Structures are given as structure tokens and as C-alpha cells.
Amino acid sequence: MKDYFNCIEEKMIKFLTKISFLSLIIVGLVIVYLLFREIYSLIILAMQPETGGNYYDSLKGILSFFIFFEFLTLIITSLRNRGHVSLIFLLSLGITSLIRLLLTYHEHLMGVMLISSAILLLIISVVILKKFIFPNDDTDEHL
């Protein structure tokens, strides 16, 4: 009876793993579509006459492009490593996202201070991980 349940467990794990990979591929394709859509909108924006608000729109578009690119890199890394993603890579993705938010957010000083504090906390976390958790690891596997 125990072998029967172990067999069912293994089949269920394989089935859920395949669904997970299929979902990652679908999300990756959606991100590729959004990436090209962002490139198209940046090209259209670059061809418009110069206006004051055009600068901030193009900055947001460029930063969004890089965020989509980072998420696509995350999905590719996850697919290559059979679903495993480095914690340092996830922290660096969070730092990148918060820097994008900081560059486009100018409304309240308290919000800017909170975003800056969050970036500092994530950077400290990456330094702690590299110094104490993976001190002798010279590979880029955790980057």
C-alpha cells in the first residue's frame, strides 16, 4: 500500500512540475510580447515632436523595458535550473524594480525615503548573503 501512495506522489510531482514549466513558458511568451510592445511604443514616442511630458514618458518606457527584460531573464534562469532561482538574483531584481520606482516617483518625500530605505535594506541583504552565506563561492550561480 505504501508503494502505491509513493507511486501516486511521484506521478503528481511530475504532473505539477510539467504544469509549472508550461506556465513559466506562457508567462515568458507574454513578457516577450510586452517587451516588443514597449519597444514599439518607445519608437513611436521618439518620433513625436518634443514636449515637456515626453521626457518622463520615454523614461518610464525605457525603465519598463528593462524591468520586462529582467523578468524574462528570471524566467529563463528558472527554466534552465529546473525551477530554482538564486536568492541573490531575486534580491537584485527587487533592487532594480525599486530603483525604477524611485526614478519615476516624485510626489512625497516620505515615499521617496521609504523606497530608498527598502533599496538600502535589499543591498545590505545581498552583501550579507555574499559575505556570510556564500563566502567561498566564486561562481556567478548566485548572482
According to the model, what pLDDT value does residue 125 have? 92
According to the model, what pLDDT value does residue 131 have? 87
- Between CA 128 and CA 137, with CA 131 as vertex, the angle to 5 degrees is 130
According to the model, what pLDDT value does residue 142 have? 47
Q: Where are the beta strands (DSSP E) in 70-117?
A: none
Q: Domain coordinates of the chain in residue numbers?
A: 2-133
Q: Which three cell numbers stand for residue 116?
A: 530608498
CB 88 within 8 A of CB 139: no
According to the model, what pLDDT value does residue 137 have? 65
pLDDT along the chain (143 residues), means of 10: 83 89 90 89 79 69 82 84 80 87 82 92 91 70 48
Give the closest residue to 79 by CA, choosing from 130, 123, 17, 21. Answer: 21
According to the model, what pLDDT value does residue 106 have? 74
Q: What is the pLDDT of residues 12-45, one digit of tens each?
A: 988 988 898 899 889 989 999 988 988 888 888 7
Rg of the chain over CA atoms, in angstroms? 20
CB proximity list for 134: less than 8 A, separation 6 or greater? 88, 142
Give the closest residue to 75 by CA, choosing from 119, 19, 122, 22. Answer: 22
